[in-house]
Structure 1
Amino acid sequence: MNLDRYFARIGLSGAFPASPLKLTELQAAHRRSIGFENLAIPLGEGVRIDSASVFEKLVLRARGGYCFEQNRLFGDALAAMGLVNRPLLARVLLGLEPGVVPPRTHTLLLVNLGGEAWIADAGFGGSYVPPLPLEDGAQAQTDDGAWHRLLRTGERGALGGEWRLERAGPPGATDGRAAPHGDWQPQYVFDLSDVAQDDLEMSNHWTSTRPGTRFTTLCIASVVLADGFASLSDRQLTLSRNGVSEVRQVETPAEYAGLLGDTFGITLGAEEAARLPIFR
């Protein structure tokens, strides 16, 4: 971890003392600068989640990544700043019918912040999830007007999760999987069990190779904007700014590559974009 290069990538500099405000500022800068994307999968590159590979891809090559990459990088940066953290595994409920129990295909971070436990998540592609104290009923509002809360819902190891993260806010500031209302909706559930690197490797392998899933059938990108949210699902672009959404189709690989660079903070050449299945 080279903190100077990381800070340059997310547009920040200076010391970051251990405080909720600084953690929130750091995560927001990360999520606005390094786009969420799964393009390594349709490009046949594979997804490596060791620290060196993630740093090289997301920082040095200015690509994006999904949760196993994003939160590896974010966790490494926090550790380099002296903030003890460890990964957790979660089941994503966003867009699923009640009662469905999906696999643990999402990772987030448990952070020790001045002796208090917080969750941080720089790798959730569905919407922006702010850092929250690990307390039943903890809530926070984000710049898109959404509220987020944590609820203690079960015991460690329960299929339904020990903790549930929920969001209530404009559906336009999501990747399109949210229900068309602003009421509370579950995002994911998790518990505090220890997670080994091989647990992450196994979940990452399933996520990046399982046929017929969202990550192996679509080309996906999303990024948090200062005034909203942007997402790409194949060639459909959705831009939500100040509560107003615009949806349009991306026509060419050159337009797609330019959009990734200008809006999503993802460097991908037009020739690489042309190799994506959405342009074949």
Structure 2
Amino acid sequence: MSEPRLKNLNLYLQRLGFSAPPAPTLETLQQLQLRHTGAFAFENLTTLSGEPVLIDLASVEHKVLHQGRGGYCYELNNLFLALLQDLGFVARGISGRVVMGQPEGAWTARTHRLSLVMLDGVRYITDVGFGGMVPTAPLLLDTSDEQSTPHEPYRIEHHADGYTLRAKVGDEWRAMYIFDLQRQEDIDFTLGNWYVSTHPESSFVKQLMVARTGQGWRRTLNNGSFAIHRIGEESERRQVTDVHELIGLLESEFDIRVPAHEGLTHTLQRLIVVA
């Protein structure tokens, strides 16, 4: 095994419930992905504060493991990929185009990061940074069959331009994102992150988006709309209009240590005001 890329591998593993580095097996990959989406929230507080989103590995590691934060795909999937590689998995970063909520056939910007993993000659995709619909298990790439996870079923469609990931929401197979296996370098992720975190049309600079998973549930927060989605049950929803209540919610329900930042507080208050 090569020299670890992570400075705090043991701490990272402890946060995921491992007392020692596990073997690079499919069972390990499944446990890592499930536990990661529960331990580290998807969140975009940094973009709302107006600060730059640093996606180099050292910065992400410090933010997530030492500052009590989560992140989005360019952060969480970068960190997770380094973990996989340090544990001996054969894995690399790939990218995609988010089409969730778009008309069927939409072709959006390449702004999502995920990972491709090879295990005993079998290819999987793994993703811990896709917000409220993040898959909670690795998915076989080379099959169109429905694949179960601890949460919703997913399937992958192969087409001329790559692949489309779909999730079964109710009785509907909704497209999540389109991706391919093209080689990606740090500069490709830097460009995508720059767009996502700074472009005025990016949803990441216009709204609060937070998500976390647990056994049988997903929690989401979009601006002031907080929801708990339980498998097979009606979702619980409520509106938050007080910024101090919102910050308390981020800490208690998503395990995020909200930074003391006056500009961020003002932005959050503006976003949760009910029109």
TM (norm. structure 1) is 0.88
Paired position in structure 1 for 2:245? 255
Say whether the 8 Å CA contact 2:11–2:65 is kept in structure 1.
yes
Deviations along 1:122-144, one digit per CA (max 9) or x if unpaired, are: 11113131211221314321233
Q: CA RMSD in A?
A: 1.8
Looking at structure 2, the residues matched to 110 and 95 of structure 1 have their Cα atoms a distance apart, in angstroms, of: 24
Q: Establish whether residue 39 from structure 1 lines up as the match of residue 52 from structure 2.
A: no
Looking at structure 2, the residues matched to 77 and 255 of structure 1 have their Cα atoms a distance apart, in angstroms, of: 34
Q: Establish whether residue 65 from structure 1 lines up as the match of residue 55 from structure 2.
A: no
Looking at structure 1, the residues matched to 52 and 123 of structure 2 have their Cα atoms a distance apart, in angstroms, of: 33
Change in CA separation of 1:262 and 1:13 when aligned onto 2, cut-off 3 Å: farther
Structure 1 residue 15, shift from structure 2 partner? 3.4
Paired position in structure 2 for 1:115? 121
Paired position in structure 1 for 2:148? 141
Paired position in structure 2 for 1:218? 207
Paired position in structure 2 for 1:83? 89
Say whether the 8 Å CA contact 1:109–1:120 is kept in structure 2.
yes
Could you say what secondary structure the match of 1:49 adopts? coil
Say whether the 8 Å CA contact 2:118–2:124 is kept in structure 1.
yes
What amino acid is aligned across from residue 7 of structure 1 in structure 2? L
Change in CA separation of 1:276 and 1:4 when aligned onto 2, cut-off 3 Å: farther
Say whether the 8 Å CA contact 1:257–1:273 is kept in structure 2.
no
Structure 1 residue 99, shift from structure 2 partner? 2.9
What amino acid is aligned across from residue 211 of structure 2 in structure 1? S
What amino acid is aligned across from residue 167 of structure 1 in structure 2? A
Deviations along 1:207-254, one digit per CA (max 9) or x if unpaired, are: 111113211110110111212111111111011124231111223333
Structure 1 residue 265, shift from structure 2 partner? 2.2
Point out where structure 2 has 5 or more consecutive residues left out of the alignment: 1-5, 271-275
Say whether the 8 Å CA contact 2:195–2:202 is kept in structure 1.
no
Looking at structure 2, the residues matched to 60 and 23 of structure 1 have their Cα atoms a distance apart, in angstroms, of: 23
Looking at structure 2, the residues matched to 56 and 184 of structure 1 have their Cα atoms a distance apart, in angstroms, of: 37
TM (norm. structure 2) is 0.89
Pairing 1:1-280 to 2, within 5 Å after superposition: 1=6, 2-129=8-135, 130-144=137-151, 146-154=152-160, 158=161, 162-170=162-170, 182-242=171-231, 243-269=233-259, 275-280=265-270
Looking at structure 1, the residues matched to 262 and 38 of structure 2 have their Cα atoms a distance apart, in angstroms, of: 23
Say whether the 8 Å CA contact 1:256–1:270 is kept in structure 2.
no
Q: Give aligned-pair identity as a percent.
A: 33
Deviations along 1:100-142, one digit per CA (max 9) or x if unpaired, are: 2100110100112233221100111131312112213143212
Say whether the 8 Å CA contact 1:111–1:118 is kept in structure 2.
yes
Change in CA separation of 1:53 and 1:208 when aligned onto 2, cut-off 3 Å: same
